[in-house]
Amino acid sequence: MGVNCFLQLTPTGNSPDMSHGRPGLETNRTVVTEFFLLGFQCSQNFRLLLFCLLLVVYCGTMCGNLLIITLVSTSKNLHTPMYFFISQLSIGDIFLTTNIAPNMLHILLNNGATITFVGCMTQFYLFSALEGFECFLLTVMSYDRYVAICNPLRYTSIMTSAHYMTLAMISWLLGFSVTLLDTITISMLIFCRSNVINHFFCDLLALLEIVCSDTFVVQLEVSLLSIPAIFIPTTIIIYSYVNILLAILRISSSTGRHKAFSTCSSHLIVVSIFYWSIFGVYVIPTKQYKLTISKILSLLYTVFTPMINPIIYSFRNKDIKKAACDLIQ
């Protein structure tokens, strides 16, 4: 039943006529004032089950990330670069899941929902910007682990408070500036095939599916912007972890190797989940399955990963546990 839920592509129930967006759209883009998000077209019982599951996940995401932010802000023992970056990641996760989850829950209850053109473009921009921010922040965090393990004696002099706060600020600015051009270009495209988006939010691939004008400029921009937003950060992360691995292997004692690896293992897990889900959505060769797989994987990095991040990063950490106990007491 779950598979059929994701594979069904046609709107049902209270969805609008798909031909509604056709007349006159070839010459006038302004006719499209709103879109209809299909979401997950399946049985009502399964949608209610999925709604309850995602509602619990959303509440858990908010509580977990807010707890991390509170602990890092109030505990002096957590005023270090690593925990500061984790708190910034939590802020990004809260914004990301809040941008997607509430409207997605509304779509599940109503078997689809409309969204205005401006609202759709805004959601796409915030989603892209926050994903870009996380790419840059994960890169900064890998650099932090590289300095901590490969240059431990110089760590405090390199990662000063001014330095790591500047790196976090640059990550925010880059994330929200790199994706702005894409959003502006997409908003100027002509949507004439239909106003129905086969997704639960305004994603790039889903939007391009209903565009009838030439998308060469958009695809060119995405390709060019992927160099600073994805490929360069990925290269830096790989370079950092290759050097970290070599440094760990040079440690003579097994206890020292385990301690060194434990400081970066959580980050490596989060990076792997984030990048594999992103690549799975946007680098799939079979076009007919792109949107189907995109829906499933999009749930992973828009809803589930923001909930898992606090668990992976912090709840296994003795410093976080101690800070939580102190806060409760």
> What are the tens digits of pLDDT across the range 171-193?
999 999 999 999 999 999 888 76
pLDDT digits (tens, 9 = 90+) for 139-171: 999 999 999 999 989 999 999 999 999 999 999
Give me the pLDDT at residue 192, please.
Answer: 76
Which pLDDT score, from 0 to 100, does residue 26 have?
41
In a domain, 9, yes or no: no
CATH (domain of 311): 1.20.1070.10
Strand partners, 116: 34
pTM for the whole thing?
A: 0.86
- pLDDT interval class at 300 (50, 70, 90): confident
Establish if 237 belongs to a structural domain.
Answer: yes
The pLDDT value given to residue 315: 62
Higher pLDDT, 247 or 9: 247
> Per the domain annotation, does 1 fall within a domain?
no
14 belongs to a structural domain: no
Task: Read off the pLDDT band of 1 (50, 70, 90).
Answer: very low
Instruction: Look up the domain containing 167 and give its range.
Output: 38-328
The per-residue pLDDT for range 16-32, each reduced to its tens digit, is 444 444 343 344 444 57
List the 113-116 sheet strands across, edge first: 113-116, 34-37, 196-197
- In the chain, the number of structural domains is 1
Give me the mean pLDDT over the 240-268 stretch: 84
Tell me which of 232 and 22 has the higher pLDDT: 232
Average pLDDT over residues 32-50: 89
pLDDT digits (tens, 9 = 90+) for 84-108: 999 999 999 999 999 999 999 999 9
pLDDT recorded at residue 90: 95
Per-residue pLDDT at 276 exceeds 50 = yes
Which two tokens mark 139?
């890169």
Q: Is residue 126 one of the residues assigned to a domain? A: yes
Q: What is the pLDDT of residues 104-141, one digit of tens each?
A: 999 999 999 999 999 999 999 999 999 999 999 999 99
**122, part of any domain:** yes
Q: What per-residue confidence (pLDDT) applies to 167?
A: 96
On whether residue 53 sits in a domain, the answer given is: yes
